[in-house]
Amino acid sequence: MAVLENIGYRALTEESACEYVKSLNLFLPDEKMTVEEIGDGNLNYVFRIASNRKSVIIKQALPYAKVVGESWPLTLKRAKLEAEVLKKHGEAVPHLVPAVLATDEELALTVMEDLSHLTIVREGLIQGNHYPKLSADIGEYLAKTLFLTSDFALHPFEKKKLVAKFSNPELCKITEDLVFTDPFFDVETNDFEAGLAESVQQLWANDKLKLEVAKIKYAFLTEAESLLHGDLHTGSIFASKYETKVIDPEFGFYGPIGFDVGQYIAHLIFQVLVRNENDRMVIRQQIEEVWDVFSYHFSEAWQNSVVHPFTKVPGALEYFLAKVFKDAIGVAGCELIRRTIGLSHVKDLDGIEDSSIRLDVKQATIQLGSSLIINRENIVTISQLLKELEVYTP
């Protein structure tokens, strides 16, 4: 049973959500408004409130994980942390995150810009939509948010203040368990189709693989490089042909840069694996583009940095980018596996109706994921990653 941390907390209803935004004077007292609960994520309520004139979103944290139920209590503090991450990242890329209009710690909610003119990228990609700006925007988002919150841009006192401010142990524990631990052991939370049982047994018995996962998990636990989004999958991104907005950074914390990069790449890989030959090229290009744009902006910021004397040392930038790339490849491997056999799946895979095709693709994500984890020292360029991806593409 969830224990309430906030005395004044109450879960909003459509009616009270309306009253709430009125009390903030975001709408006129007699303005006609419509409201609907549109949340389809794992953890929160999301209300869209609109009049003829304007619309806003209220995102409210529930004291438990919606995906499992009240038996899985979850801190309400994550609402404030998410709003603070949005604001901090907004300092770096205001055009790529939603504007925060108000926050309420007691009710664990954030009122923010309505983005319903955009589509959740996962849904759009599954429908075959093309987002020409997506990966360039995400590359810029990653480079600028991660550089500007790192030791390369901040005074060490300021950086350490932020590390403490963005401590997020409960949400990190979810990632530590669901991404980096449970899928590699025979535990109850795992969820996979009977047709995958043999591959899963092999994976659980593979000590070489598990040793590499242990190293990747250790980096996640200990390397406070930058303020991460912490859950950068395609369900955390809204987009159209012209615009991209990154939402939902409630898993934000100071961690290794490669984590955000690797998660995003993994979810593009799902699309490569589920698409037919003609349609997958555009996603392969997006994988290439996100890394190119990320390294372009990151390198530019690095060269302009005046904080860290070692940024001027020849080879230092190359060393750091290579580390981020290797970390990203390892994380991508773990993400491919956990979304296939762990607790929280993705529609890209589970939505494949033909069971034989679905199983083939899922076998591919397990095998490719394992290969990325084990061979990440040798996969050092995007072309090598794309080559490896081709080997496992059904």
**Binding positions for ATP:** 44, 59, 113-115, 248-250
Note whether 43 and 250 are within 8 A (CB): yes
Residues making up the annotated binding site are 44, 59, 113-115, 231, 248-250, 338
Residue 178 partner contact from Mg ion, ligand SR1, none using kind-dependent CB cut-offs of 5 to 8 Å:
ligand SR1
Applying CB under 5 A, which part among 27-35, 246-254, 262-270, 313-321 lies near Mg ion? 246-254
How far is it, in rounded angstroms, from Cα 266 to Cα 329? 9
Nearest residue (CB) to Mg ion, 140 versus 248: 248
φ and ψ at residue 281, rounded to 5 degrees: -60, -40
Q: Which is nearer to ligand SR1, 28 or 67 (CB)?
A: 67
**Closer to Mg ion by Cβ: residue 41 or 73:** 41
d(CA 389, CA 379): 11
Closest approach of Mg ion to the CB of residue 285, in Å: 26
344 binds, among ligand SR1, Mg ion, none (CB under 5 to 8 A by kind): ligand SR1
Query: CA of 215: how far to CAs of 63, 180, 221, 268, 327, in Å?
Result: 32, 10, 10, 24, 10
Nearest to 180 by CA among 27, 337, 52: 337
Q: Of Mg ion, ligand SR1, none, which one sits near residue 174, judging by CB under 5 to 8 A according to partner kind?
A: ligand SR1
Question: Which token pair is 204?
Answer: 């659980």
Distance CA 58, CA 84 (A): 15
From the CB of 72, what's the least distance to ligand SR1, in Å? 7
Q: Are 330 and 258 in contact (CB under 8 A)?
A: yes
Residues comprising the binding site for substrate? 231, 338
Would you say 248 or 289 has its CB closer to Mg ion? 248
Interacting stretch for Mg ion, rule CB under 5 A, among 24-32, 40-48, 76-84, 149-157? 40-48
CA 82 to chain centre: 12
- Measured from the CB atom, the residue of 125 and 153 that comes closer to ligand SR1 is 125
Minimal distance, residue 161 CB to Mg ion, in Å: 26
Beta-carbon contacts of residue 211 (< 8 Å; ≥ 6 apart)? none
**Site membership for Mg ion, residue 248 (CB under 5 A):** yes
**Token digits for 112?**
């923010």
Q: Which is nearer to ligand SR1, 176 or 292 (CB)?
A: 176
Q: How many Å apart are CA 330 and CA 193, to the nearest integer?
A: 24
Is the CB of residue 64 less than 8 Å from the CB of residue 70?
Answer: yes
Strand-pair partners of 259: none
260 counts as binding Mg ion under rule CB under 5 A: no
Contacts of 285 (CB under 8 A, 6+ apart): 135
Taking contact as CB under 5 A, which single stretch among the options 112-120, 242-250, 264-272, 334-342 is the one that binds Mg ion?
242-250
Q: Nearest distance from residue 18's CB to ligand SR1, in Å?
A: 27
To ligand SR1, the closest distance from the beta carbon of 221 in angstroms equals: 16
Backbone φ and ψ for 96, nearest 5 degrees, come out as -115, 5
Burial 147-167 (b: 16+ CB within 10 A, else e): bbbbbbbbeeeebeebbeebe
Judged by beta carbon distances under 5 to 8 A according to partner kind, the member of ligand SR1, Mg ion, none in contact with residue 335 is none
Q: Which is nearer to ligand SR1, 323 or 347 (CB)?
A: 347
- Strand, coil or helix: 1: coil
Binding-site ranges for ligand SR1 (CB under 6 A): 42-43, 65, 67, 174-175, 178, 231, 344
Determine if residue 93 is left, alpha or beta; phi over 0 gives left, psi from -120 to 50 gives alpha, anything else beta. Answer: beta
Least distance in angstroms from the C-beta of 96 to Mg ion:
17
Rg (CA), the chain: 21
In 3D, which of 206, 216, 330, 211 has the Cα closest to residue 266? 330
Q: Which does 331 bind (CB under 5 to 8 A by kind): ligand SR1, Mg ion, none?
A: none
From the list ligand SR1, Mg ion, none, pick the one residue 65 interacts with, judged by a Cβ distance below 5 to 8 Å according to partner type.
ligand SR1
Query: At its nearest, how many Å lie between ligand SR1 and the CB of residue 279?
Result: 26
List binders of Mg ion among 44-103 (CB under 5 A): none
- Binding partner of residue 126 among Mg ion, ligand SR1, none, CB under 5 to 8 Å per kind? none
CB of 75 to ligand SR1, least distance (A): 13
Query: Which positions lie near Mg ion, rule CB under 5 A?
Result: 41, 248
